[in-house]
Amino acid sequence: MRFGNACIGLIFGVTLLGLNIPLFNVMPRSIVEVDGGRVLAQSNLEELPPDYQGAPPPPRLEPLPPQRLRRDVEPLPKDFRVPALQSDYTGDLWIGSWLGLARINPNSGKVEARIDLPNYTIGALAQDKVGRIWVGTYDGLVRVDPRSNEVTAHNFTLPSNRVLSLLVDKRGYLWVGSDRGLSLISPDKGLLMTTLQELPGVSANALTLDNDGQLWVGTLEGLVRVDTASGFVIGRITDIPGTIVQTITTAPDGMLWVGTTNSLLVIDPETRQVLRSVTPLRGRSVTSIRFALDGSVWVGTEYGLLKIKAATGAVFGELTNLLSNHVLSLSPDTGNKLWVGTTEGLAWVSLSSGTVRPHFAFVKDAPNSY
């Protein structure tokens, strides 16, 4: 029996050596009887070191270049675009930019206040019937009391929190246009009245009221007319050059002036017919339209600012020496100036001389004193 066990152990050990498997020294401790046989109890296993050589370590990588390291730790560059301008009942001008909200004296240019908001990405501004400023951001709606600068955030369930346009109708209700629909809010009660989520054209890019008090919405697929009393869609105009409406305003004579990605159109809201396409603006992306007190029209485009005659479309003048030729917002006849929001900051134009000046509080690389 002992001879048999020795042979088996020898064969097994040789087999293990042939397979290059680590061997173990067995240190017997005691003999245990099990069912009449004898079993060797084992303990204190000592592992022999393996006889293979490990792979060499991978080569040492070079560190990231200093430029990459700086980009990882530095903050994102500031965005100086000014998408919204709103004058208030005191004569001050509110500046809605991607750096936040501010109020200035448009006569002197002095910054009266900077308002700390939950979200600095502003898309639209409006003033309600009692003078409060409503701020549409890319994270919903905020209300500001101009007397105390107190900020109230509203968690309305909008079709989307990315607010693109705001308008207060003749009853004092606030219409909120987002990139996924339209909502109606009572500013006094702070209540969401209705939501038009299946808006034809989807995105409410721009808003205006016609002379009947009905709402016109510029969308990705033309114009939509909404009854302000019921919130129902009561008309559409889809067959227009450019299709995508970027800006819209109502002229003193009641006609709709509509800026698209390639034209400036004059539309009769009653017949819903395009009366004319303003010749000098054909092929140009129109981003902002405002009527001046003298009846002329300021038109902002992606490639400059024009002043035209409303009756004929003749160009009085064109400005291309702004901070950026991509105009986003306009506020004419404010502090005896035309204020211009661009993708690179805020500027003003003298109505008497046509001189263009930047407002250094809202531009890149401003001097230390101004």
What is the SS3 assignment for 4?
helix
Residue 304 to residue 338: CA distance in whole angstroms: 14
Give the Cα separation of 342 and 181 in Å (integer): 26
| DSSP state at residue 202 | S
Q: Which of 27-31, 116-120, 283-287, 349-353 has the lowest mean pLDDT?
A: 27-31
In the numeric block, which tokens belong to residue 249?
């305003």
**Helices and strands counted in the chain (H then E):** 2, 30
pLDDT digits (tens, 9 = 90+) for 181-206: 999 999 999 899 999 988 999 999 99
Q: What is the pLDDT of residue 74?
A: 55
pLDDT of residue 330: 98
Least confident of 11-20, 42-51, 149-158, 213-222: 11-20
SS3 assignment, position 1: coil
Q: Which residues lie across from 266 on neighbouring strands?
A: 257, 276
Alpha helices, DSSP H, located in the chain = 2-18, 66-73
The predicted-structure confidence for 74-91, as pLDDT tens digits, reads as follows 556 789 999 999 999 999
pLDDT in tens, 243-291: 999 999 999 999 999 999 999 999 999 999 999 999 999 999 999 999 9
Instruction: Give the Cα separation of 182 and 117 in Å (integer).
Output: 23
Q: Which residues of 301-321 are buried (b: 16+ CB within 10 A; e: fewer)?
A: bbebbbbbebeebeeeeebee
Parallel, antiparallel, or unpaired: how do β-strands 222-226 and 215-219 relate? antiparallel
Strands 222-226 and 174-178: unpaired
- Specify whether the CB–CB gap between 217 and 199 falls below 8 A: yes
Cα–Cα distance for residue pair 182/201, rounded to 1 Å: 11
Q: Which residue has the tokens 């991509």?
A: 326
CA dist 167 and 191 (Å) reads: 16
